[in-house]
Structure 1
Amino acid sequence: MEIRDWLILEVLYEQKNITKTAHSLFISQPALTARLRQIEKEFGITIVNRTSKGVQFTPQGEYLAKSSTEMLLKFRRIKEQVLNLDASVMGTLRLGASSYFTAFTLPPLLKQFKQQYPNVEFSVHTNWTKDIFNTVFNQEVHIGFVSADYGWQSQKHLLFEEPIYVASVDDIDLANLPNLPRINYQTDGLIKAMIDKWWRENFSQPPTISMEVDKLATCKEMVKHGLGYGIMPSRILHDLPAMRKTMLTDQQGNPILRGTWMIYHEEDQDLNVMKAFVDFIKAVDFTQH
């Protein structure tokens, strides 16, 4: 089997559909079908049965498909180690990051690193912190940037902590907050739990949610246009100096902080590109980013 065959099996197992898989891999449907037939001939098995709802994997096909992730990972690591045999910093660095970090912090960092190491390319995967945690754990990416601590047991470096604010274009009487329109947004479960805990400690009635939006950046725009208040971390508000802000504090008066970490596997530091990037990030002054 060729490496592209393992990729076909991996994507087909995810999609359960020939047409969607061909589209995802930028190959024609007949070419994809021909490769499947070749794999079946090579192993002497039937991989999938077609149904009205897509494809159904046979037990043998399912075993091969589940092995594809392991085979592709082995191939990537072999390729990385071959590139690592000399002292140069090159190759593709696979990163996972929350959408918040990707939008507001990551781009200038990648630009600076690329200027120092022009032979490095980036593959960036954006998702919720919980999912990024899992992709790092499964070694689908080299490094993850996460905004909640799920108890990572390998290498972890705290990049920065930021306070969380109640933000509005108008002055807010905090005691009246439950009666004011709030712009709510989807966020990581641990961050949501932290904000909900603060709310329960300070109010006996639920918030008045006027809008449910997809992400933090959308919430910011709604708040900026005076459509309600939002509860947001400080970095997203840096370009809105006129915004009225009240910091969230715990029962002892300490600020409630949202931390952002870099996480990775210790053994991956053997790669030149990994070590260079980790050292680069550790040296960054995040008060300037």
Structure 2
Amino acid sequence: MKIEDYVLLIKLNEVGTIRGTAKVILISQPAVTQRLKYIEEYFGEVIFIRTPKRLIPTPSGEIIIKHAKLVIDHERELKNRLAESGKEIQGTLSIACSSLISQRFLPAILGEFTAAYPKVAIDLVTGISEDIKRDHKKYHVCIIRGEKLKETTSILLFDDPLYIFDTEAFPDDRLKERPLISFKSDDSMHELVDNWLYHHQDKIKPLKTMTVDQIETCKQFMKQGIGMAVLPESVSDSMMDSYPHIALEVEGKRVTRDTWVCYQEGIRKLPQVDHFIRTLTSTQFLPQ
């Protein structure tokens, strides 16, 4: 059995279908089916019952999947120990990163890091900050938006001011009534916007709210005149000169979306983790 076989079992259990797993790990369905057949023959047990909707682990399968997770954890721990004891920077670096940061900033940061430390294997997961916070102990480093993780060491990377954009002007002398377009984010982002709207209900009134899946879709809808959109500066700096906008302020204070790097105490003993955090904290995310 190879480590890849144990990874495959865990992915099959998580995704629930052979087709979906094949898409996630980027190999063909027949190859996944053939590999599962080999694993079942190796253990002499049926691991999954195939139903029309998903794969269901058998009792033996549950035991084997639990074993697979232990094998992978032990392998990762061994690699980390070797990386910690070795002079050359290597080993695995597991990162969970906010989708916005992964799209806007992470490619350049990882490009710089992997060029400097080519033997470090990057294990990256991206998603909504709330989901990352829930599973933060699975990763060496978490890059999140909103509130910092209280049970970790957290370093503020940058404040991201929020603006509301539209293709139509924001008048000072009358109520602006327009649809509001929002993008899928965690609750803390929506709370910032709702609080600001509450304090400015005499100036701006959303007629209805449309929610789209990604921030880029939100931007394009706004640019087509479909409605207003609240966007952080990090993804809207090129729009400042082209579209009417106002900065979000409450009682004279700018409304910002904070970005943090969070990690467990002691994890920086791993050289690859320490060097990555150094790279992050030396990055200038927004123009001064």
User: Could you say which TM-score interval applies, normalised by the shorter chain?
Assistant: 0.7 to 0.9
Checking the alignment, whether the CA contact within 8 Å between 1:92 and 1:123 is kept in structure 2 is yes
Selected match of 1:199 from 180, 197, 200: 197
**TM-score of the two chains, using structure 2 as the length reference:** 0.85
> In structure 2, do the counterparts of structure 1 residues 47 and 129 end up closer, same or farther at CA, with 3 Å as the change threshold?
same
Candidates 147, 153, 156, aligned match of 2:154: 156
Question: What do residues 54-96 of structure 1 show as CA deviations (whole Å, max 9, x unaligned)?
Answer: 4332334224324433431221121232233222112342222
Secondary structure of 1:274's partner? Answer: helix
Mind listing any 5+ residue stretches in structure 1 that lack a counterpart?
none
CA distance in 1, matches of 2:5, 2:115: 36
The answer to whether residue 284 in structure 2 is matched with residue 285 in structure 1 is yes
Unaligned runs of 5+ in 2: none
TM-score by length of 1: 0.85
Match of 2:101? 101
Secondary structure in 1 matching 2:266: helix
CA distance in 2, matches of 1:77, 1:163: 39
Q: Identity over the aligned pairs, expressed in percent?
A: 24
Mapped to 1, the partners of 2:158 and 2:116 lie a distance apart of 23
Stretch of structure 1 that moved more, 89-98 or 254-263 = 89-98
Question: Matched residue of 2:261: which SS?
Answer: strand
Residue number in structure 2 paired with 1:29:
33
Contact 1:22 1:29 in 2 (8 A): no
186-195 vs 149-158, greater mean Cα deviation: 149-158
Question: 1:233-272 residue pairs with structure 2 within 5 A?
Answer: 233-242=232-241, 243-250=243-250, 252-272=251-271
Q: 1:160 & 1:249 partners in 2: Cα distance?
A: 18
What's the secondary structure of 1:183's corresponding residue? Answer: strand
Residue 5 to residue 34, structure 1, CA distance change in 2 (3 Å):
same
Structure 1 residues 179-190: aligned runs within 5 Å:
179-190=177-188
Q: 1:197 offset after TM fit, Å?
A: 2.2
Partner residue, 1:215 = 214
Write the letter of the residue equivalent to 2:150.
W
**One-letter amino acid of the counterpart of residue 106, structure 2:** L
Output the CA distance in 1 between the equivalents of 2:196 and 2:238.
26
Work out the CA distance in 1 between the residues paired with 2:157 and 2:231: 18
Query: How many angstroms does 1:207 deviate by?
Result: 1.9
Q: Which residue of 1 aligns with 2:81?
A: 81
Q: Partners of 1:5 and 1:125 in 2: how far apart? A: 20
Distance 1:283-1:180 versus aligned 2 partners, 3 A rule: same
Q: Once the 2 structures are TM-superposed, how far is the Cα of residue 182 of structure 1 from its aligned partner?
A: 2.1
Measure, in 1, the Cα distance between the counterparts of 2:22 and 2:180: 44
Going from structure 1 to structure 2, the CA distance change for 1:52 and 1:186 (only over 3 Å counts) comes to closer
How far 1:21 moved relative to its partner?
4.1
Query: Please, what is the CA RMSD of the aligned residues?
Result: 2.6
Moved more, 268-277 or 207-216: 207-216
| Residue type at the aligned position of 2:261 | M
Q: How many residues end up aligned between the 2 structures?
A: 281
